[in-house]
Structure 1
Amino acid sequence: MTIRLAAVAAPFGRDLDECFATIERLAFRARSEGASVLALPEACLGGYLANLGGEAAGPPALRRDGPELARLAGIAGDMVICAGYCEAEGDLRFNSVVCVTGDGILGHHRKVHQPLRENQSYAAGDGFTAFDTPAGRMGMMICYDKAFPESARSLALDGAQIVVCVSAWPASRTDPAPDLADDRWTRRFDLFDQARALENQVVWVSSNQSGTFGDLRFVGRAKIVGPGGEILAATGVSAGVAVASLDLEETLATARRSMGHLRDRRPEAYAAGF
């Protein structure tokens, strides 16, 4: 069965009504292009942190069972939509991503790995779990999570065929390139996407914020990566939607036929806890 995947690079700020208006436009565009999966960026419901120094007034904190995620599910309808938000649970706040259809929540993930001083604004998640969707078995992660091979490997070993990584990945702040496409953090963003897809032989769907917010400048570069590490579609560093079609079962079977990276693992040879 052929599926069509869409990954977004777009700016999102604090105003939730504006965020939802943007999401509705993007969902309409993706649906009109036949997409069954739409990956929106990290923090697309209320924006990311304006800085990484422990921002006092951060994004609006939303409950997992609140009206905002119900509204997102209503927009999704028969599509699978993944979207990042600031999750409230009691006094804690988590940097989270949710996967929904019109039927409700299919999967959820709290960001585990926290760069710089993000831990001053969010508590950390504690695991990676795959789940079933109408498009295939899926796993999710957020931004810096993909810098750790164990994150994607955990999802692949749990049967994930598609991994969605939502990001608010910025350009370098210490040595920025005049051309964002040449920035060293843009290069790292692409390298992580391709390496994680290839080493786990999964389909990788990478969304990202674009533009600027606070003192951060985001690199865009939303993309779909095949299980051989090849970029099937990408937006570049500006806002846009990357769309690609593939037969999921056939694509994965072909990639894993001769060299199966999961099949050929030798766990007994690895250090305990690796």
Structure 2
Amino acid sequence: MTRVASVQMDVHIGENAKNTARVLEKLSVAAGEGAEVVVFPECATSGYCFDSVDAAMPYAETDDGPFVEAFADGCARAGVTGIAGFLERGHGAIHNSAALATPDGRTRVYRKTHLPTLGIDRYVEPGPSIPVYDTPVGKVGILICYDVRFPEAARALGLQGADIIAVPTNWPIGAESSPDFITRARAWESRVFVVAANRVGVERGRVFIGRSQVVAPSGSVVVEASGTDEAILYSDIDLAEARMKAIVHEPGEWELDLTTDRRPELYGVLTDQG
């Protein structure tokens, strides 16, 4: 069994040092409870509701900056794999990114690929790819908030062998469909675990709805946080469930496999760039 943790927390906009300290504190708490994978919210160090690139730039960091360095060190000391959202700057642009750090001190950075007209996402550059990362516990993919609304993105991770899709997110009021059924659909479609970490609190009038979750490959919500309070959710998951893609109701009579039963030759319209 693998113990995963989803950290639901408030974030104070523009207070990077304070937010980073709280991330590291909660990382230590989760590790102390035996967590091997710990997921934090989107923009966990900076906040989200910026109204321009210029306003956000002072709170964006490089992929080897103070937050990523501290997070990597914290994950190495705790012996965990951690995923946390941060605003990344580089080459004159900003990305809405997530750092993945492993116990060996290595870091990888995923950049949000699908961008809504909301908060800082109005001004960031989209990421170029949707990779899966090898970690000590298994293969982990990352989708940040709005990304998870696109079934193609989750399917791309599933086809690359993801066992877990980590979802750092900032679901506000109006995004209830995500914890209601979208995360469940993504888990079921690709037979993966989804570990979603949302924030709580109010930021510049925007209310965030919590409801962080762990969802099983069956589409069942294993555990879910409240809509208002900080919390750390824990779940002991069996990654073998994510590696068994076939759903066998009656052997030879009623079986489903949403990987091998696909018809990719029919889906060209999904990637038609014309």
TM-score (norm 2): 0.88
Give 2:129's match in structure 1, choosing from 127, 130, 135.
Answer: 127
The offset of 1:27, in angstroms, is: 1.3
The offset of 1:67, in angstroms, is: 2.9
Contact 1:73-1:101 at 8 Å conserved across structures: yes
1:28 aligned onto 2:25: no
Contact 1:106-1:132 at 8 Å conserved across structures: no
The aligned residue for residue 181 of structure 1 is none
5 Å matches for 1:255-266? 256-258=246-248, 259-266=256-263
1:142 aligned onto 2:144: yes
The offset of 1:17, in angstroms, is: 2.1
Cα 1:270–1:120 shift into 2, 3 Å? closer
CA deviation vs aligned residue, 1:115-134 (integer Å, no higher than 9, x gap): 11545421111220111001
The offset of 1:26, in angstroms, is: 1.1
Query: How far, CA to CA, are the matches of 1:9 and 1:227 in structure 2?
Result: 22
Cα 1:102–1:139 shift into 2, 3 Å? same
5 Å matches for 1:1-274? 2-13=1-12, 14-50=14-50, 53-54=51-52, 56-58=54-56, 60-77=59-76, 78-117=79-118, 118-172=120-174, 185-238=175-228, 239-249=230-240, 251-254=241-244, 256-258=246-248, 259-274=256-271
The offset of 1:159, in angstroms, is: 1.2
Contact 1:10-1:209 at 8 Å conserved across structures: yes
Contact 1:70-1:104 at 8 Å conserved across structures: no
Contact 2:163-2:243 at 8 Å conserved across structures: no
Cα 1:102–1:260 shift into 2, 3 Å? same
Listed as ranges, the gaps of 5+ residues in structure 2 are 249-255
The offset of 1:271, in angstroms, is: 3.6
Cα 1:272–1:126 shift into 2, 3 Å? same
Q: Which residue identity lines up with residue 61 of structure 2 in the other structure?
A: L
Query: How far, CA to CA, are the matches of 2:27 and 2:205 in structure 1?
Result: 28
SS in structure 1 at match of 2:3: strand
Query: How far, CA to CA, are the matches of 2:235 and 2:55 in structure 1?
Result: 38
Contact 1:106-1:133 at 8 Å conserved across structures: no
SS in structure 2 at match of 1:107: strand
Query: How far, CA to CA, are the matches of 1:56 and 1:154 in structure 2?
Result: 34
State, as a whole percentage, how many aligned pairs show the same letter.
29
Query: How far, CA to CA, are the matches of 1:108 and 1:163 in structure 2?
Result: 15
Cα 1:224–1:21 shift into 2, 3 Å? same
Contact 2:188-2:217 at 8 Å conserved across structures: yes
SS in structure 1 at match of 2:154: helix
The offset of 1:253, in angstroms, is: 4.4
Query: How far, CA to CA, are the matches of 2:2 and 2:200 in structure 1?
Result: 26
The offset of 1:252, in angstroms, is: 2.4
Listed as ranges, the gaps of 5+ residues in structure 1 are 173-184
Cα 1:206–1:119 shift into 2, 3 Å? closer
Query: How far, CA to CA, are the matches of 1:115 and 1:102 in structure 2?
Result: 33
Contact 2:245-2:258 at 8 Å conserved across structures: no
Shift >4 Å, 4+ stretches? none
Query: How far, CA to CA, are the matches of 2:61 and 2:107 in structure 1?
Result: 17
Query: How far, CA to CA, are the matches of 1:113 and 1:12 in structure 2?
Result: 22
The offset of 1:189, in angstroms, is: 3.2
SS in structure 2 at match of 1:273: helix
TM-align CA RMSD? 1.8
